[in-house]
Amino acid sequence: MKKIKTPLSLLCSVLLAASSGWSQSAVRIEAPQGGLGWLTHPYQKREVPPINTANSARLEALVRAGNLYLSAQDVIALALENNLDIEIQRYGPLLTREVTRRAKGGGALRSVGVGVATGPQSVSLTGVSLTASGGATSTAGAGVSSGGGIVTQLGPTINNFDPQLSLYANFAHNTSPQSNTILTGTTALVSDQRTYQAQLSKYTPLGTYMQLTYGSTRTTTNSFSFNINPYTTGSLDFQISQNLLNGFGTAVNGRNIRVAKNNEKVSDLQFKQQVITTVSAILNLYWDLVSFNEDLKARKDELATAQALFEDNKKQVQIGTLAPIEVTRAEAQVYSSQQDLLISQTNLLQQEIVLKNALSRNGVASPTLAEVHVIPIDTIQVPEKDEFKPLDQLVKEALAQRVEIAQSRLNLESNQMNLVGIKNNLRPTLQAFAELTNNGLTGSPNYLVPDATADPFLVGGYGNLLGQVFRRNFPSYSAGLSLNIPLRNRAAQSDYTTSLLEIRQNELTLQKSINQVRVDVQNAVTGLKQARVRYDSAVKARILQQQTLDADKKKYTLGASTVFQVVQDQQTLAAAESTETQSLANYSHARIAFDQALGTTMEVNHISYDEALSGHVSRVSGLPAKLPPAASEENQ
């Protein structure tokens, strides 16, 4: 039966993890449904599903008997699936892709997205390095200009690139008194008109405007002077204009599209930065929780030792081998140890609340998390030796990996793209244009005039009109140039100079960031080395203090030492154990900060960008056969 249980439990875990991915509504945009397909979809709204506040099934799968058992990898997986800071940033790539869609239609860039959240912090910051990661937890915006885009458009106006179809119909009845009956043959000219027109127009990124118009008007009048009545006139007109200086070229008119595509890359990097920041913060929470558990064990040992000493002293006082004052000293140590234990328990409980809130979409209000205790499975492992690559190689890797550097370079590139359009605005406006029109006329001999004569070429129905238009029997042509020269041109000059100055500032800011990366890497290496030395020293100090306590206890048993000395040794040992625990946590923080400084947090923790973006981690969580006891259950 035991052989069947293990595969069965593994299968259940896989199904739970899979159902977690299926049940969560992914961050997405839904295409329009119904209608006449491509014909009506451009005019229908696209929906975004409501937010999902349900936690992944992985969370409940890790709960046993009121305890939530977590490994470091489980913490990372739960953060990727449930953390709200990461979930908020999942909308960023979709937002920037919508701005690109808008830019392809000729719209100005919109400001979208939010900055990177710094992530939760531990209850106690003792031993936590707050500056080792440099600027890795920046809350700055994303793409070009603050917040991911520019709203005010400098340079030549970018027109709408989507083709426009216009349809027009008009029905008119006109009655006009006439002062000259020779021309119209009547004192009151009455006419009925039906006008139809269709126009298709489009701007191109080259700066070209094209317009094709077809229109026809059918007129019926009461005049005797018209040879053809009723008659229909029509024309097919094609107009084209091209900017030759200001507004010419795809580099000018398509700059928003290229900037928007750059902003998509920046948004992807910002999401990666949020994952790095959040995972690093939550790992710090987890390792702090591990250290709080270790500290609680030490405080319990301290209290147990003090309690045993107190009981032993009371017995010796009763038999008269010890002065009563020694009982008072031992009792004082018991109360002091109880206070230390209470503080340690409080820190542990508060840390659990912070960690549970970071791993849940609805925080500690979740019924699953309300009363459970978090039990860390992993322990902080300090390798025997830290091996570092040469500093120059570490800096080179950091410059290639750090998200902030890539973002700054992309934003600088986008600003230079915008500068092309701003520079183009210095030029005068020179426009070449041409127009070709094919005209036509058709109708019937005037029904008001008996035996009216009309040109046989013009007599006929609507097909005769179309034949004239497409045979180009009555063509018209025109072409020309239009030059507009702004005098002084101060606004355009100021815009260009201002933008160029801002680019120079951006270049210096990039260099400053590069310099800071070098500082971050060196500080991270130094911090890790220092954490290693502090940990080794703390371990040695704790061992020596334990040996001192054991020796003084033996002396006390033999009457060669005092209770005061034993109590003092116990206090010193508790402080040494606390220092060792803090140094252990400090080492884990230094290691996390080192990974952040190099920009390798995701690689070190085996985080897939695609899984992080989808919010579903394929790795199956598994609990060990023997679960560690809760800190509150130990020594019972």
619: in domain: no
Which residues touch 204 (CB under 8 Å, ≥6 apart)?
Answer: 161, 210, 253
138: in domain: no
Question: pLDDT digit string (tens) for 274-325?
Answer: 999 999 999 999 999 998 988 888 888 888 888 887 888 888 888 877 788 8
442: in domain: yes
The count of structural domains within the chain is 1
User: Is the model more confident about 12 or about 158?
Assistant: 158
Question: pLDDT digit string (tens) for 391-447?
Answer: 999 999 999 999 999 999 999 999 999 999 999 999 999 999 999 999 999 999 988
Q: How many residues does the chain have?
A: 636
| C-alpha to C-alpha distances, 174 to 169, 171, 197, 225, 447, nearest whole angstrom | 16, 10, 20, 17, 19
Token pair of 7 as six digits = 């595969």
> Is 382 a residue whose pLDDT tops 70?
yes
Dihedral, 32, 38, 43, 45 alpha carbons, nearest 10 = 10
pLDDT of residue 142: 56
Q: Name the band, by pLDDT with cuts 50, 70 and 90, for residue 44.
A: confident
Measured distance CA(494)–CA(488) in Å, rounded: 11
Q: Name the band, by pLDDT with cuts 50, 70 and 90, for residue 149.
A: very low
Identify the domain containing residue 477 by its residue range.
164-203+208-246+429-484
* Residues facing 478 on adjacent strands: 435
Regarding beta strands 474-484 and 164-177, do their DSSP bridges make them parallel or antiparallel, or are they unpaired? Answer: unpaired
Element (H, E) at 434: strand 429-445
> Is 137 a residue whose pLDDT tops 70?
no
261: in domain: no
Mean pLDDT of the chain: 86
pLDDT, mean of residues 254-275:
94
* Residue (of 151, 402, 161, 138) closest to 260 by Cα position: 151
215: in domain: yes
Name which of 397-406, 409-418, 535-544, 567-576 the model is least confident about: 567-576
Q: Name the band, by pLDDT with cuts 50, 70 and 90, for residue 11.
A: very low
Q: Name the band, by pLDDT with cuts 50, 70 and 90, for residue 145.
A: very low
Q: Name the band, by pLDDT with cuts 50, 70 and 90, for residue 96.
A: very high
Q: What percent of the chain has pLDDT over 90?
A: 56
512: in domain: no
pLDDT of residue 631: 58
588: in domain: no
198: in domain: yes
Regarding beta strands 67-70 and 373-376, do their DSSP bridges make them parallel or antiparallel, or are they unpaired? Answer: parallel
Token pair of 67 as six digits = 């305890």
Cβ-based burial of 625 (10 A; exposed 0-12, middle 13-18, buried ≥19): exposed
* Residues facing 435 on adjacent strands: 239, 478
Which residues touch 481 (CB under 8 Å, ≥6 apart)?
Answer: 430, 431, 432, 433
pLDDT, mean of residues 120-141:
51
Q: Name the band, by pLDDT with cuts 50, 70 and 90, for residue 9.
A: very low
